[in-house]
Amino acid sequence: MQRTANPCMPVRFRLWPPNFIMIKKLCLTDFRNHTMCKIETHGCNNVIITGPNGAGKTAILEALSILSGDRGMRGAQYVDVARFDGNGGFSVFAVLDDDTEMSVAFNSGDTNRHGNIDGDTATLVELSSRLPMVWITPREDRLFVDAASERRAFFDRLVASFDSNHSGRVARFTKLLSERAIALKSGRDMRWVDALDDQIAGVATAIAAARIQYAGELNYFLQNAAISVSGMLEQMLIDGRSSGDTERAYREYLGGAREIVADKMVVDGVHKSDFGVFNKQLNLPANLTSTGQQKTMLLEIILAHAKLLHARTNNRPIILLDEAAAHLDKSARDKLFAELGESEAQVWATGIDVEVFTDVPNAVFVSCKDGEISNIVVNGQE
């Protein structure tokens, strides 16, 4: 394992010609409050879905996020995604601009969903590599003022866009910590704890290294923001220690941190790390800026992530923005729409008022009400 670069150091990329991935048709069946839903994008880069609260706008974005191989932007159980008065299952089907057909289905009684690409069974990794996506929801509007755990979960999801093993490592680290706590509480042979500490140190170092590498690469594409990573292992790597030395140092630390206090294991590690965001324009940490300024920072991160994905994979992701214009004044909205137009990615965005999006170019406008698509307007023409 090689030592990663300091995230403050400049990173250089070769920028490739844009490689668009666009959805030209989306169909939902028994998904949330949609009995049947069909949207055709007519070659537009921007798909704007408007309607009142509870209309089913977010459900459309959630269906897309599930289609990408992820659990979904809401992280819901599949049985909860299926329409309440349906047959207990659901399906999401899409046709891409190159006529590739992709689908995800869940049937009543299943334990997992079924992915499919052009008629062949597809794994979650194959789905995500074919249709990369990035999204933000109203939940992330408080990302910079919420607990560190929320920021870790958000950025770890972004890191996983480039490191397919990252999410698995994070889950494994959590499982190993739990096993360690049980072993310590039960007074098991310390040789068993030693073996767990060896595994924990290796996994934790890999997690920290991936986070630092991502922060450094993302900073290359950020103009008004800067990302930092803080944490015990991350700091060791930033200070110049090799991955091997960091792993050994953390293993030694774990060997001396085996005390149980109030029935809890007290131990530091990547499960307590945090991501910081600094607003370079205002010279302030993001959490000290206004709600609108925080939303602007969040959107800049998502757009920078899309650029990074293109630089690393030669693909442009689908961008999902739930309540895209919330907390933004007209100037900030105009800037957002201009940047989205330059992102050379297909953007699916939701909002209550269609008037907010009237200046969005190359757009198809979809009206949604009570789980039904009532109207579709393409660049001003029904």
Query: What pLDDT shows up at residue 321?
Result: 94
The residues, ordered by sequence, that sit 6+ positions from 86 with a Cβ below 8 Å of its Cβ are 30, 35
Looking at the domain assignment, is residue 5 inside a domain? Answer: no
Domain check: are 177 and 261 in the same one? yes
The pLDDT, as a whole number, for residue 144 is 95
Whether 327 maps to a domain, the answer reads yes
Write down the pLDDT at residue 177. 95
Give the pLDDT band (50/70/90) at residue 6. very low
pLDDT at 189: 84
**What is the spatial distance between Cα 82 and Cα 126, in angstroms, rounded to a whole number?**
23
Is the confidence at residue 14, as pLDDT, over 70?
no
pLDDT above 90: residue 285: yes
Whether residues 159 and 194 share a domain: the answer is yes
- Do 163 and 224 share a domain, yes or no? yes
Considering the domain boundaries, does residue 365 fall inside one? yes
Choose the most confident range, by mean pLDDT, from 234-248, 293-307, 316-330. Answer: 234-248
Helix orientation angle between 190-221 and 291-313, rounded to the nearest 10 degrees = 100
- The whole domain housing 328 covers 23-132+318-378
How many structural domains does the chain have?
Answer: 2
Is residue 126 domain-shared with residue 156, that is, in the same domain? Answer: no
Residue 205 · residue 250 · CB < 8 Å: yes
pLDDT tens track for 79-105: 889 998 888 999 999 999 999 999 999
CA angle 195, 196, 201 (to 5 degrees): 105
Lowest mean pLDDT among 10-19, 70-79, 153-162, 326-335: 10-19
Q: What is the pLDDT of residues 338-377, one digit of tens each?
A: 887 777 789 999 999 888 888 888 889 999 988 888 878 8
In whole angstroms, what is the distance from residue 320 CA to residue 238 CA?
A: 33
Q: Does the structure show a pLDDT above 70 at 1?
A: no
* Confidence at residue 19, expressed as pLDDT on a 0 to 100 scale: 55
Average pLDDT over residues 11-20: 49
Q: Determine the pLDDT at residue 184.
A: 92
Comparison of pLDDT for 307 and 203, the residue scoring more = 203
Domain for residue 289, yes or no?
no
pLDDT of residue 20: 63
Shared domain check, 104 and 161: no
Do residues 159 and 218 share a domain? yes
- At residue 17, the pLDDT reads 44
Tell me if 295 is assigned to some domain. Answer: no
Averaged pLDDT for residues 312-341: 85
Model confidence at 56: pLDDT above 90: yes
Residue ending a domain, choose from 249, 276, 303: 276
Q: Mark whether 89 and 174 lie in a shared domain.
A: no
- Domain presence at residue 254: yes
The pLDDT, as a whole number, for residue 343 is: 73
Is there a single domain that holds both residue 186 and residue 78?
A: no
Residues 78 and 109 in one domain: yes
Q: Of 222, 253, 276, which residue constitutes the final position of a domain?
A: 276
Please check the confidence at residue 140 and state whether its pLDDT lies above 80. Answer: yes
The answer to the question of residue 285 being in a domain is: no
Q: What is the pLDDT of residues 290-302, one digit of tens each?
A: 999 999 999 999 9
CATH code of the domain in which 191 resides? 1.20.1050.90
Domain boundary among the residues 224, 257, 276 is at: 276
Residue 213's pLDDT is: 96
Which value, to the nearest 10 degrees, does the dihedral of the CA atoms of residues 118, 123, 129, 134 take? 110
> For the residues 29-46, what does the mean pLDDT come to?
93
The pLDDT of residue 3 is: 37
- Same domain? 120 vs 161: no
Q: pLDDT band for position 12 (50/70/90)? A: low
Q: How confident is the model at residue 240 (pLDDT cuts 50, 70, 90)?
A: very high
pLDDT, residue 113, reads: 85
**DSSP labels, 56-91:** SHHHHHHHHHHHTTSS-TT---HHHHB-TTSSS-EE
CATH of the domain at 367: 3.40.50.300
Percent of the chain, pLDDT > 90? 59
Give me the pLDDT at residue 381, please.
57
Residue 363 belongs to some domain of the structure:
yes
